[in-house]
Structure 1
Amino acid sequence: MHTSVREINTSSESDSSYFLRVDWEGRSLGSGFQMLLTDGQDAWRGEVSQAAVNSEAEELELKKEKYIHDLHQALTGAENSPSYSFTLTPDPPHHSGMVKLTYEKMQKEISFRLGCVPLKAVADPVKAVRELLLHGLQRGDALQQQNHKLEEENQRLIQEQQRITAEMKLYASSKEALETKLFSRFVLVMNEKKAKIRSLQETVTNLQETRSSDRQNNNNPGKSEQRAGRDNEVDVYGGSTDDEPEEEQPTPASNIPSRDSFLPQSLPLQAHWTTACVTSQTWPRVASGAFSRSGPRIPP
């Protein structure tokens, strides 16, 4: 059961006020509700069924959800909007046994009726007023307890916020110290990496220069051969051999070979003929040179 109590003023007597209590079951007023109206002396009760709510919505050509929303605002005062007005007939009731409460919505200087509820006088208005007061006290106690809980929760949140703020300051200082330490280490590592990179770059440069020089030598082989030839000439003409002194010594007659010794036994006939021709031409000169001093010549 949901209960709502609000103060209303009628359009005819704005100075006089009434207290309106609305009780309903379910999620909204669409399932029907009961009303209690009192001015502190007299009290009137009434009831609105679910069929009456649907009939009013169809008569106003409004969606049921929209009509229930406006009805809830008008009877419970959830938003305390001045766009809703109430009319009580007869007004003032003057201990009447039957009154009619009409509630309307004001929109752009135009009012349209949301509903009308007939109310019957209560036989014991004092009891109704006492119930209304008890509900007000209970509601006040519940709101006070809720307010106390909210204050405790607010205090807890304040303490939690202070603790978190202190921890955040500690974390911030630790973070700055850690960043400084890491940055100093990073600088050292970066300097080492830079030195290593420079060393590698120098090595690469040297290798490239060596490769380019080798490539140039490969592209110009004539110069290399000329240089090698000059080196060989120096070795040939500048060196000395052991055969030169032996050629200057005279050859004894006993060491002069015969004609047959110049002819290899294993050569073919053409080779013997060539050798014989060469020997017959060179033999007189050799013999004359060999025996010019010490012995007779051998005829050819």
Structure 2
Amino acid sequence: MEKTLIRIHPVSDPEAVYFLQVSWEKDVSSGFGIILTDGERAWTGTVSEAEISREAADMEMNREKYVEELKKALILGEESAGKYNFTVSVDEENAQCHFSYERNLRDGSFRLGSLKLQKVPCPADVVRELIGYCLDCLGGLQVKNEHLQKENERLFCDLSDVEKRLEKCVEAKEELEGDLYNRFVLVLNEKKMKIRNLQKLLNEAKESAVDTHCARDSIATTQMATEKENDYDGSTEEESENLIQSSLPSAPERRDSLLGSPDVIGTAPRRKRRQRTVNSAGTEAKIATYETEMLAKENCQLPNGRTKNTTCTPVPFSILPRDT
């Protein structure tokens, strides 16, 4: 059986002190017993499960919620002070005590329940029982307190050990951070040096690529200019050769024109004038030799062995030199 003991102050006499003990088997909802005493007198009574259900129905309240309100009013006691009011009315003639409890609200209050308690013939036994209950509770609290103190001491020892370990971990962490920082600085400097070297190599590669590109462009430009010049020279030489060959007659034609054409005298000077800029001294010598040979051939021999002396007028002739 579970029991609780609280101290209450009735609304009718706030200076009076009463002790209220509530006991139950399994749960408050299944019924409970009440003992009320002022130290000199004592009253006792019980509340059944049916009465609890009837009170909840009269107030139109859910039964579970009503049981929770009973626990707060009769078990928590001083923890709910100011929220609940208690009324104690003693009837000496009938040896009864009317006990009621209410819930305070902003606009008023509503009654949770009431019951009539019967006077105990020997209140000393009730007081003795309450004192024994208080001592038992006190002993249990002392044991619990001792256990909590030991647990607290153990926790303090663990805390001191944890603090020492934490200090060591902090020192180790600081040392590790310093070591890692130094290594990081070394690695960072090496990376920076590598980056500078790579940038330098990249710049050199870019410069060499630009120089190579410029050189290729200049070579290509030179080759194009050379090809254009060669094409121009070749076409000029071919055109000049074609013009010279087309202007000169063939060898038999030149010979026939020199021997039989009466217009050779008039044509030769014109050709000589056109080719005056290209005639050389060697060409004039060749012309003189050719004219002498032609004069010798014109001296015809007769059948009786006599020669015919005919005076031939030398024909001027010019041979154009071929450009090489």
The alignment's TM-score, normalised by the length of structure 2, stands at 0.63
Aligned position for 1:210: 208
1:115 aligns with 2:117: no
Q: CA deviation at 1:22?
A: 0.2
Q: Distance in 2 between matches of 1:89 and 1:29?
A: 24
SS class of match (1:40)? coil
Structure 1 range deviating more: 136-145 or 81-90? 81-90
1:19 aligns with 2:14: no
Aligned partner letter, 2:66: Y
Q: Distance in 2 between matches of 1:96 and 1:15?
A: 25
Q: Distance in 1 between matches of 2:210 and 2:157?
A: 76
- Residue number among 158, 162, 176 corresponding to 1:178 in the alignment: 176
Q: Which structure 2 residues correspond to residues 197-276 of structure 1 after superposition, within 5 A?
A: 197-223=195-221, 225=223
Aligned partner letter, 1:18: Y
Aligned position for 2:320: none
Aligned position for 2:122: 124
Aligned position for 1:104: 102
Q: Kindly indicate whether the alpha-carbon contact (under 8 Å) linking 2:103 and 2:112 is maintained by their aligned counterparts in 1.
A: yes
Aligned position for 1:268: none
C-alpha spacing 1:226/1:104, structure 2 compared with 1 (3 Å): closer
Give the paired residue count.
Answer: 226
Aligned position for 1:286: none
Q: Kindly indicate whether the alpha-carbon contact (under 8 Å) linking 2:7 and 2:78 is maintained by their aligned counterparts in 1.
A: no
Q: Distance in 1 between matches of 2:5 and 2:101?
A: 16
Q: CA deviation at 1:24?
A: 1.5
1:56 aligns with 2:55: yes
Q: Kindly indicate whether the alpha-carbon contact (under 8 Å) linking 1:217 and 1:224 is maintained by their aligned counterparts in 2.
A: no
Q: Distance in 2 between matches of 1:117 and 1:52?
A: 10
SS class of match (2:79)? coil
Aligned position for 1:165: 163
Q: Kindly indicate whether the alpha-carbon contact (under 8 Å) linking 2:8 and 2:78 is maintained by their aligned counterparts in 1.
A: no
Q: CA deviation at 1:128?
A: 2.1
C-alpha spacing 1:208/1:227, structure 2 compared with 1 (3 Å): farther
SS class of match (2:68)? helix
Q: CA deviation at 1:102?
A: 0.7
Q: Kindly indicate whether the alpha-carbon contact (under 8 Å) linking 2:53 and 2:63 is maintained by their aligned counterparts in 1.
A: yes
Percent of aligned pairs with the same amino acid: 35
Q: Distance in 2 between matches of 1:9 and 1:94?
A: 20
Aligned position for 1:191: 189
C-alpha spacing 1:9/1:94, structure 2 compared with 1 (3 Å): farther
Q: CA deviation at 1:95?
A: 7.4
C-alpha spacing 1:223/1:14, structure 2 compared with 1 (3 Å): closer
Q: Distance in 2 between matches of 1:179 and 1:216?
A: 54
Larger Rg: 2
Map Cα deviations across residues 10-58 of structure 1 (whole Å, 9 max, x no partner): 22233322211101133x4222111111222332221111222222222
C-alpha spacing 1:110/1:173, structure 2 compared with 1 (3 Å): same
Q: CA deviation at 1:228?
A: 10
Aligned partner letter, 1:60: M
Q: Distance in 2 between matches of 1:95 and 1:150?
A: 51
Q: Kindly indicate whether the alpha-carbon contact (under 8 Å) linking 1:42 and 1:95 is maintained by their aligned counterparts in 2.
A: no
Considering only aligned residues, what root-mean-square deviation do their CA atoms show, in Å? 2.5
In structure 1, the gaps of 5 or more residues are 230-300
Aligned position for 2:9: 9
Aligned position for 1:296: none
Q: CA deviation at 1:96?
A: 4.5
Q: Distance in 2 between matches of 1:23 and 1:178?
A: 64
